[in-house]
Amino acid sequence: MNPIDFILRQKPAVKILALVIILGAILGIYWQVFYRPVVAEIKAIEPELNQLKAELSAKRDIVKEKGRYLAELEQTRAELHLALKQLPNKSEIPTLLENISELGMSAGLQFKLFKPMAEVPKNFYAEIPVEIEVEGKFRDLVTFFDDVAKMPRIVNISDINITGSQKTPGSAVTLSTKCNATTYKFIEESAPAGTAAPKPTDKGNAK
């Protein structure tokens, strides 16, 4: 007799029990054959998926910050370029020192000492200190310091020592002032040894 026909001939309670057993067997087979292996595979690759998600999130953050980093880099380059423009090169130093001296004389000061000292090398620049001693009125001294501060090149006045001389009747007090004026120059990279400068081409002799 067919098992299905046998079940159909049984009482309703037996039919229901038989159907439950059959359904349970089907679900058990599905669990063992299909669902359980899939779940195990998902759990096996879950750590790798989490790592990939973390890497993706980090890369997204980098992309978001890239614009800000580039903007900061450009700003830094602009500031460095501006600072370098304020540092004279070697050929401009004599003219700069002459300009400082001329500003003092134009302000009405009399120079007693104007002595450039040895250069003090730093990182990419060098300090050039100058010992200065002048005599003149207070307002002339203020004018000189103000004019130096307005120069396009960087010049710092430091170690100011002011002493007064005797006042003659009917004239302002003459001050004797000692100070240090420090300017800076950009240190140019020297050409590698054995490298000759290129000679200009005489196009007029070319045939």
What residues does each domain of the chain span?
1-85, 90-186
CATH class of domain segment(s) 90-186: alpha beta
What is the dihedral sign for C-alpha 134, 136, 142, 148?
negative
- Cβ atoms within 10 A of the Cβ of 1, count? 6
Confidence of residue 143 (pLDDT cuts 50, 70, 90): very high
Angstrom distance (rounded) from CA 176 to CA 160? 11
Has residue 132 got a pLDDT over 50?
yes
pTM score: 0.49
* pLDDT at residue 194 greater than cutoff 50: no
- pLDDT tens per residue, range 84-94: 666 666 666 78
Angle at alpha carbon of residue 196, lines to 192 and 199, rounded to 5° = 145
CA distance 99 to 93: 10
